[in-house]
Structure 1
Amino acid sequence: MRTLVLNAGYEPLAIVSFKRALVLVMNQKATVVAHDAEHPVWAHSASFDRPSVILLTRYVRIPSSRMIPVSRRGVLRRDQQRCAYCGQGATTIDHVLPRSRGGKDTWENLVACCLRCNNKKSDHTPREMGWKLRIRPQPPHGTSWMVRGVESALPQWEEFLTPVAA
């Protein structure tokens, strides 16, 4: 069982084991925000609700320059598993400017793509194919992108992972 750790400002910070979360709570470094009452943790003399979300009591400063590394899984997640060319379900990624023409592995040059479009596009640019990108590839932003394991979020984490509209 995993636990979402929130910074003192309620932004997602990390995902830890429930054991680590209990240690943070017992040492008064965090408080429980949400728990899993169906699966308590039994100790020798007591039982505790298993924490699913905890809040740190002190704010932890995160470097704002921390870059999100490019990955296949990240590109698919950013593009919501949809092909950037046709909008169908995507299972692979594509270089907008092909690598053979100097295209790099960057957030701005990689898009989610279905196998059909990827094979059809081959070593061409979208312009040469007469295609338009449905999305503008750019680096993802937001604190939830900094947290590993958030792709398989638990239902009780949703309210803490959705960005607040300003």
Structure 2
Amino acid sequence: MDRVIVLNADAHQVLHQVSLRHAVAMLYRDVARVHQSVPGRTFGPYPQPHSLVLVSYVYTRWLYEHSGRLPCSLANVLRRDGHACAYCGREASTRDHIVPRSRGGPTSWLNLVAACAACNGYKRDRTPEQAGMRLRVQPFVPTAADLRPR
């Protein structure tokens, strides 16, 4: 299922992801506009969005101040790891559970790393050791400052 990244109005803060259907509804209601589109693909009168940016800014300071935690989302894991694959160093587009979920691994900052599709597919539901792969980075729990655009 296609997921679309939703950015705050400043286009720097990832808020969450929505389905393609929800994204088109947001475009239709004029609450968001296409930030990045999928090349050569359209959805009705709109280019198929890869990411949307909200028209109005959503103030989310409470999220970090009151929970004390940043959401462990795909976009935030990619930003934490500099969009580089933790196994080979190429550009990452997915996240990988170091200890696979099928083996009881949690979806947490310390068990997730950015990965390219090739490495993620090769590793499958094995640990890096079982797959003969070496982690090039040590995962960590980031602060809001770690995820700010540079």
Please give the TM-score of this superposition, normalised by the length of structure 2: 0.53
1:77 counterpart SS class: helix
Q: Whose RCO is larger (CA < 8 A, sep 6+)?
A: 1
Output the amino acid matched with 1:82: A
Which segments of 5 or more consecutive residues in structure 2 lack a partner in the other structure? Answer: 1-8, 14-63
- Across the two proteins, how many residue pairs are aligned to each other? 91
Q: Which runs of 4+ in 1 moved over 6 A?
A: none
Farther off after superposition, 64-73 or 92-101? 64-73
Partner of 1:119: 121
Partner of 1:98: 100
- In the alignment, does 2:147 pair up with 1:139? no
Partner of 2:41: none
Root-mean-square deviation over aligned CA pairs: 2.6
Output the amino acid matched with 2:93: T
Q: CA deviation at 1:142?
A: 4.6
Farther off after superposition, 129-138 or 77-86? 129-138
Indicate which of 67, 72, 75 corresponds to 1:73: 75
Task: Judge conservation of contact 2:70–2:144 (CA < 8 Å) in 1.
Answer: no
What's the % identity of the aligned pairs? 44
Which segments of 5 or more consecutive residues in structure 1 lack a partner in the other structure? Answer: 5-13, 15-61, 152-157, 159-166
1:108 counterpart SS class: helix
Q: CA deviation at 1:143?
A: 3.5
Q: Provide the rounded CA distance (Å) in 1 between the counterparts of 2:125 and 2:111.
A: 14
Task: Judge conservation of contact 2:87–2:134 (CA < 8 Å) in 1.
Answer: yes
Residue pairs, 1:25-104, within 5 angstroms: 63=65, 66-104=68-106
